[in-house]
Amino acid sequence: AQKITQTQPGMFVQEKEAVTLDCTYDTSDQSYGLFWYKQPSSGEMIFLIYQGSYDEQNATEGRYSLNFQKARKSANLVISASQLGDSAMYFCAMRENFSGGYNKLIFGAGTRLAVHP
Amino acid sequence: DTAVSQTPKYLVTQMGNDKSIKCEQNLGHDTMYWYKQDSKKFLKIMFSYNNKELIINETVPNRFSPKSPDKAHLNLHINSLELGDSAVYFCASSPQFPEAGALSDTQYFGPGTRLTVL
């Protein structure tokens, strides 16, 4: 069965510094997708970044980048130049595929990030 | 423009009652989902519908009945509510087959409905 592991229940970082949130995954599929979502205290789930298993380049979206190491089955999120508004829960997720093009997301337990001024 | 919307945002009710949560998406997506987030923030899929057809049912008690009147709407009806049903319920949508160059079949989430059963 597919599994996502986030080993850091909580992290803190100083404003303007970079932080890495860890995510490892387990799958026997050759084709899969990895996602990061942000959940601020207001509760909504905000899509941040996506990495496909066949993508050779690491994904980047503004201050977010995904450090994808396929052999190690890790997909760590790097946030550069942290801002106070980055304080939130961060979830790593993997797409589990079904026949017919359908899928569901398997989520990790999340990491709570606190950005200190 | 709201992409995925849910109503209500908060729902407080007594044990044993029946309640519904509505979800609508204006993204033109084919597939919609319901996820449950428990008190420890763990997210788990409940159902998935594609063009009004049930695709995924993750061993959810049959007190939960999703209904999709059209591909833009997926409602969740819950009968005989129990204390353990208290959670945040998220609706999400995604394209079944992303267009070329699109950012995969990313799922976009609604704002969530916090259900409290007393």
Residue A58 vs residue A102, higher pLDDT: A58
> How many Cβ pairs closer than 8 A exist between chain A and B?
64
Nearest to A37 by CA among A109, A96, A89: A89
For A104, the closest of B48, B97, B114 (CB atoms) is: B48
Per-residue buried b or exposed e for A66-87, using 16+ beta carbons within 10 Å of the residue's own CB: bbbeeeeebbbbbbeebeeebb
Distance (Å) from the C-alpha of residue B112 to the closest C-alpha of chain A?
Answer: 6
Mean pLDDT of A7-27: 97
CA distances from B34 to A82, B37, B51, B79, B108 (A): 32, 10, 15, 16, 11
Measured between CB atoms, does A91 come within 8 Å of chain B?
yes
Residue A99 has pLDDT above 80, yes or no: no
Q: Which of A24-28, A112-116, B51-55, B104-108 shows the lowest mean pLDDT across its residues?
A: B104-108
User: What is the reported pLDDT for B101?
Assistant: 47
- pLDDT band for position B20 (cuts 50, 70, 90): very high
- pLDDT band for position A2 (cuts 50, 70, 90): confident
Residue B10 vs residue B59, higher pLDDT: B10
Distance (Å) from the C-alpha of residue A45 to the closest C-alpha of chain B?
Answer: 6
Inspect the interface and report whether the beta carbons of A107 and B105 lie closer than 8 Å.
no
B residues 13-52 closer than 8 Å to A (CB): 31, 33, 35, 40-45, 48, 50
Inspect the interface and report whether the beta carbons of A33 and B105 lie closer than 8 Å.
yes
Q: Residues of B with CB below 8 A from A89's CB? A: 41
- C-alpha angle with apex B107: B95 to B64, nearest 5 degrees? 100
A residues 93-112 closer than 8 Å to B (CB): 93, 95, 98, 100-105, 107, 109-110
For B106, the closest of A35, A102, A109 (CB atoms) is: A35
Distance (Å) from the C-alpha of residue B105 to the closest C-alpha of chain A?
Answer: 9
Q: Residues of B with CB below 8 A from A31's CB? A: none
Q: What is the pLDDT of residues B88-114, one digit of tens each?
A: 999 999 987 655 444 567 899 999 999
Contacts of B23 (CB under 8 A, 6+ apart): B4, B5, B6, B32, B34, B73, B74, B75, B76, B91, B110
For A101, the closest of B56, B96, B103 (CB atoms) is: B96
Contacts of B29 (CB under 8 A, 6+ apart): B71, B93, B94, B95, B96, B108
User: What is the reported pLDDT for B97?
Assistant: 67
